[in-house]
Amino acid sequence: MTNASEAVHNTFEWFERNSGWAPPDPGSIEEWLADGLCRCPDECIVEPGMPCPHGLASWWLVLRCVDRADRRPPVPPEMMVPHPRRLDPGRADFVAIIDAHHGALCAGRPGYADPATGLFVLTAGSLWDNGSCCQKGCRHCPFVRREPA
């Protein structure tokens, strides 16, 4: 089965081969999330953090992987998704965690308060800017090998 980071990578490859970039409006995504679902670029309906049967990520997850407030070198989109060993996309609070991460990235903050524990969590952007893995098990570490869970 495809994990979330592989699905994001597959989706960007799909954009290259197909219609390109045409994301839905924020209101549509909010409606889908209110139902606990989301659409993928190929119109499959999935849970927000899960890939479709064709290996593509949901629009919600794709859009959460591309924003960055500054002009520093971009983090490859598939590296913005936590490795499933660090954050299971099936967790009930997965959407809240990724949204908190996204909010911190867009605001240019180095991290966010975990929605469940209140602990400070560094963003993938902050960790990427460090240049290498610190080996401390960070949730959003962009340097964790992208092997299946």
Predicted confidence (pLDDT) per residue in 39-49, tens digit = 999 999 999 88
Q: Compute the distance between CA of residue 55 and CA of residue 14 in angstroms, rounded to an integer.
A: 10
Report if pTM > 0.85.
no
Residue 143 burial by Cβ neighbours in a 10 Å radius (0-12, 13-18, 19+)? middle
pLDDT in tens, 95-129: 999 999 999 988 889 999 999 999 999 999 899 88
